[in-house]
Amino acid sequence: MKISFGSKPWIYPQPVLIIGTYDEDGTPDAMNAAWGGIGDTEEIRICLSSNHKTVKNLLAKKAFTVSMATKKTVAECDYFGLASGNQVKDKIAKVNFHSVHAEHVDAPYFEELPLTFECTLISYDEETGDLRGKIENTLADESILTNGKIDPEKLEPIAFDGVNHTYLLVKGVVADAFSCGKKFLK
Ligand SMILES: Cc1cc2nc3c(=O)[nH]c(=O)nc-3n(C[C@H](O)[C@H](O)[C@H](O)COP(=O)(O)O)c2cc1C
């Protein structure tokens, strides 16, 4: 038997994305966003409320970074979702993260977050909160690579559980994609 819950945004896994921006003084900011994902091959889409410092920053700079939150940095990443750059001048210093100016866009990335997308702004709709960004470059720390490829076991990405309000560890390979279903093609 199935139970109806009405209209709920319960996707598993829901990625935990950390958006990095610079403010008007060049101070880096970071916010936590779980309502987002890949919109197209080179496009990231996130639903962002317009009152965030992050939104003001990315509209001014036309650029931002998006990093995956990880098991090791879970408390810092949660903090980025609890405090606002509108009230706290330097959230990055508060958690002892180290920010670096991205090479391809005018936005910071963070040494402590090993997988980052450098994005330019495509569009932002203040009514719907729909942010679209073009992925200009993808940066991966050497420490999360195995044979030159991203190794999720090393990255240890976390997911947001919108039902129980927890962070889940995304872990383990179940099967090969584009392959394990082939038996049904016959
Ligand atoms: C787990 C989690 C997920 C969040 N996801 C989003 C989101 O997808 N969109 C959004 O607008 N705010 C989201 N927030 C709220 C912002 O991260 C929060 O308001 C933050 O303080 C904004 O920071 P800023 O003002 O420095 O940009 C989320 C917060 C948490 C803790």
97 in contact with ligand 1, CB cutoff 6 A = no
Specify the 3-state DSSP secondary structure of 124. Answer: strand
- Which pLDDT score, from 0 to 100, does residue 6 have? 98
Task: Compute the distance from residue 86 Cα to the ligand 1 centre, in Å.
Answer: 12
Give the pLDDT score at 95. Answer: 98
Yes or no: say if 136 and 104 are a contact pair by the CB < 8 Å rule: yes
Cβ-proximal residues to 138 (8 Å cutoff; 6+ apart), any chain? 115, 116, 117, 118
Beta carbon of 158 within 6 Å of any ligand 1 atom:
no
Residues of the chain with pLDDT under 70: none
d(CA 157, ligand 1 centre) in Å: 18
Report the pLDDT value the prediction gives residue 129, as an integer from 0 to 100. Answer: 98
Contact 56, 17 (CB under 8 A): no
58-111: pLDDT as tens digits: 999 999 999 999 999 999 999 999 999 999 999 999 999 999 999 999 999 999
* pTM for the whole structure: 0.98
Question: What was the pLDDT predicted at 77?
Answer: 99
80 C-alpha to ligand 1 centroid (Å): 7
Which domains does the chain show, CATH number per domain? 14-184 (2.30.110.10)
What DSSP element (H or E) covers 53?
helix 53-61
